[in-house]
Amino acid sequence: MSIKQIIILFLLAFPAFLVNAQDEGYGVFVPIAKYIEEGDAEKLSAWFSDNMEISVVYGSGNSSKKQATQILRSFFERNKPSSFTIEHKASRANMKYALGKLVAGGEKFDVTIFVSIKDGDYKIRQLKIEKEL
């Protein structure tokens, strides 16, 4: 194999390597997105940190896992989700975040999810649901 062929193979394979490296760890958002779209606060709460920041429409604050579940359950009861899509994912240090669009109760919402990893497990540290402007 010539050097030219090796370089061409490397250049063809390198973008695929970058895509796989960028997707690493973002699979955590697959079940989270599913439970948001289903409006299932109970299943979503399995991903909650013991203490987290939750902001739903106009109220926000630090909450226990149990309080955050109740807040989200109440939101989903008033705003039945019909669709949820994640539009952007990124990371910094030991934290990953996703930005998504939720359609619920006939309205549109911007959703921000921050997860951190501790002892090999991802947990939601912050969840924000705001009316789309």
The residue ranges of every structural domain in the chain are: 26-131
**DSSP summary character for residue 40:** -
Q: What is the pTM of this model?
A: 0.80
CATH number for region 26-131: 3.10.450.50
Closest Cα partner for 113 from 125, 103, 131, 101? Answer: 125
Alpha-carbon 115 to chain mean position: 7
Local confidence pLDDT in tens for the 133 residues of the chain: 566 555 554 444 444 433 333 445 678 999 999 999 999 999 999 999 999 999 998 778 899 999 999 999 999 999 999 999 999 999 887 889 999 999 999 999 999 999 998 778 899 999 999 999 8
